[in-house]
Structures are given as C-alpha cells and as structure tokens.
C-alpha cells in the first residue's frame, strides 16, 4: 500500500501515506526493507509542517516518534540531514514541539551519528547539541523535583522520567562516538550529576544509568577528566559511595567509575601540554579525594572486595592499589 500510494503521480493521498508510514515504522521493530527511505522522507515532510493548529501538532509529534523507531539503521544523510536540521532549528526558535517530540528528533539524528561520524560538526557546532541536552535535562529534573514537592509523583512512571531515560540513552550513543571537546561539556556533566543526585527521590534506577553514562564518557574519552571533575562527577561518586553497603549493587558501578578515572590519569601523555594537564588534574583529584575521606572509604571495602566481585560478577579489581593515584 505504501509503494502504491507513493508511486501515484496524481491524487496522492498524503495523509494516508503518512499514516501507513507511521504504522510501518512503529510496528516493524527495526526490521525494515526498501520501504525505509519512503517512510523517512514522508514523515520528515510531515514533521516539517509549520501550521499552528492541533491537528498539525499531533501529526508532527507522531511522525517524530515513528522516525525515532528506526534505531541505528543506516540511512543516507542526503535523505534526512537538511530536513532534521530544519526541524530542530525551528523548534529552538518557535517551541513548536513537545519535549518528547524534540527529544525524538535529536535521538533520530544521534542514532545516525553513531554510524556516520561526519555528522559531528553539524550536531555540535551548528545545532549545539551539548547545550540543548544540558538545558533539557536540567529543566526536566527541576520539574520532577517540583512534582515531588507538591506530592504529584506516583508509582506510575511520569512522562518526564520517560524523557530523561531517553536522553540518557541518546547521550550514551553520543559519548560512544564523540571526539570534539570544549568547556560546554562541564555543564552537561553537571546536569547528569543532578539527575544522579535526584535519583534518590525520583527514580533509583537513574543512579545506575547516570553512573554508566559517566563511566562510558570517561572510557571513550569523549569527555576529559578535568571536565568530569569540574562538572562534579567525582564529588558525586565519592558522596554516593559512602551511602552503600555490600547489598547495594550500585556500589559496584561507582567503584568501576573510580578505577576507570584512575587508569586514564596514570597514562602519561606524549604531548607536553596534555601531560601537564594530566598532572594538574591528578593533583586536583587527589586533593578532592583527601577532603572527602577517600583514603578511608576504599580501604573500608578491602576485606569484602572478593565477595563483591563474585556476588555481582563485575569487572572490579581485587588489588587495592588500583584505586589510588600516584603523581
């Protein structure tokens, strides 16, 4: 039906075609064929509609949610790039999309970036992804705090929680491929830390996801260690780890994060400026860890490290020296 409707020269039913394309993308669960290019082009056209009425709004939202269901499937950038840029830029100026639809537009683009690193310049420099993700996460976290204060949070997951989860997933893919570094990342790390701290009140699973996200950013070196430090990631980990016992599996993620940070900082750099920066960052972290009682925290787990390792089957070093810094 999609092919038949798309090939019509006259009297093409655009509404029917869009509905069929939405059904195709939403129901096929990532298993697509030659219909993909037709569906993407059709739904981007719908999402580009700038009419200001309830029907057009609903159609834009549904089109972007359906497009997001393409996952990591490769799509030629000639098919989508100009259109998705226009959709994102127009929303930044006119606020014509809900937070969920806006996040869907970004996720569609970041999924494309995962397979095509040439998109990074557009994503970072033209569309300002880091700043937008920072702002969205901070606003969503504030809304959830306000709802909690007003007693509006229930056992059922809120729309804001769903969107935060999707942003965390999007950022995970972004950090996996990103190479561009700038001070703006400090703000993004700070916003992730706010989600981490808010997890005590809002949703405990956010804690694990946030730590995994920060650990991934460190592992791929998408974020410099000094940005992690300035953004409060190290402080948050040291603060959180003191709350846990052997039974709390989240402790494992925190220890893995610390070990990864220390491993990176113990690798000497060939570039003289980078080596000086590495040493300075190590000194700052040593000072911070001494202030937070780090020397007491990690040894306190020493006797139970073997139990932790086998209990959670985690990638955690049994050598206590792996958790200390040497300048």
Q: Range with the lowest mean pLDDT among 119-133, 152-166, 283-297? A: 283-297
Average pLDDT in the chain: 86
Tell me the per-residue pLDDT of 202-250, one tens digit each, with 9 for 90 and over: 777 888 899 999 989 988 889 999 999 999 998 888 888 777 665 566 7
Dist. CA 266–CA 258, nearest whole Å = 12
pLDDT in tens, 26-75: 887 656 667 899 999 999 999 999 999 999 999 999 999 999 999 898 99
CB atoms within 10 A of CB 7: 9
Of the CA atoms within 13 Å of residue 181, those in its CB half-sphere come to 11
Angle at 305 between CA 304 and CA 306, to 5 degrees: 90
Confidence tier at 262 by pLDDT (50, 70, 90) = confident
Quick check: pTM over 0.85? yes
Dist. CA 191–CA 139, nearest whole Å = 9
* Averaged pLDDT for residues 258-279: 86
| Percent of the chain with pLDDT strictly greater than 70 | 84
Distances (CA, A) of 195 to 30, 138, 174, 280, 313: 30, 8, 18, 28, 26
Q: What is the pLDDT of residue 175?
A: 96
C-alpha span between 152 and 204 (Å, rounded) = 17
- CA distances, 261 to each of 41, 70, 151, 227, 242 (Å): 43, 34, 38, 12, 18
């Amino acid at each position: 039906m999609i092919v038949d409707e798309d090939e019509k020269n006259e009297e093409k039913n655009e509404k029917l075609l869009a509905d069929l394309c939405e059904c195709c993308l939403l129901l096929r669960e990532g298993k697509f064929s030659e219909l993909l290019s037709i569906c993407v082009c059709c739904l981007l056209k719908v999402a580009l509609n700038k009419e200001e009425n309830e029907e057009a709004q609903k159609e834009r939202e549904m089109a972007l949610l359906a497009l997001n269901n393409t996952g990591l499937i490769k799509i030629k950038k000639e098919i989508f790039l100009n259109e998705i840029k226009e959709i994102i830029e127009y929303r930044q100026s006119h606020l014509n999309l809900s937070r969920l639809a806006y996040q869907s537009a970004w996720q569609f683009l970041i999924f494309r970036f995962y397979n095509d690193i040439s998109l990074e310049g557009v994503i970072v420099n033209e569309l300002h992804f880091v700043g937008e993700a920072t702002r969205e996460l901070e606003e969503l976290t504030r809304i959830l705090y306000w709802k909690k204060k007003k007693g509006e949070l229930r056992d059922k997951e809120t729309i804001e929680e769903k969107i935060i989860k999707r942003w965390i997933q999007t950022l995970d893919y972004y950090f996996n491929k990103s190479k561009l570094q700038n001070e703006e990342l400090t703000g993004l790390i700070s916003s992730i830390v706010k989600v981490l701290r808010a997890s005590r009140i809002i949703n405990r699973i956010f804690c694990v996801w946030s730590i995994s996200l920060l650990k991934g950013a460190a592992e791929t070196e998408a974020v410099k260690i000094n940005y992690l430090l300035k953004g409060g990631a190290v402080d948050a980990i040291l603060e959180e780890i003191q709350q846990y016992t052997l039974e709390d599996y989240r402790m494992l993620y925190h220890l893995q994060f610390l070990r990864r940070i220390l491993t990176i900082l113990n690798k000497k750099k060939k570039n003289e400026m980078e080596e000086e920066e590495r040493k300075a960052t190590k000194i700052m972290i040593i000072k911070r860890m001494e202030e937070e009682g780090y020397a007491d925290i990690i040894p306190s787990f020493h006797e139970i490290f073997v139990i932790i390792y086998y209990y959670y089957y985690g990638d955690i070093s049994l050598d206590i020296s792996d958790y200390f810094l040497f300048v």
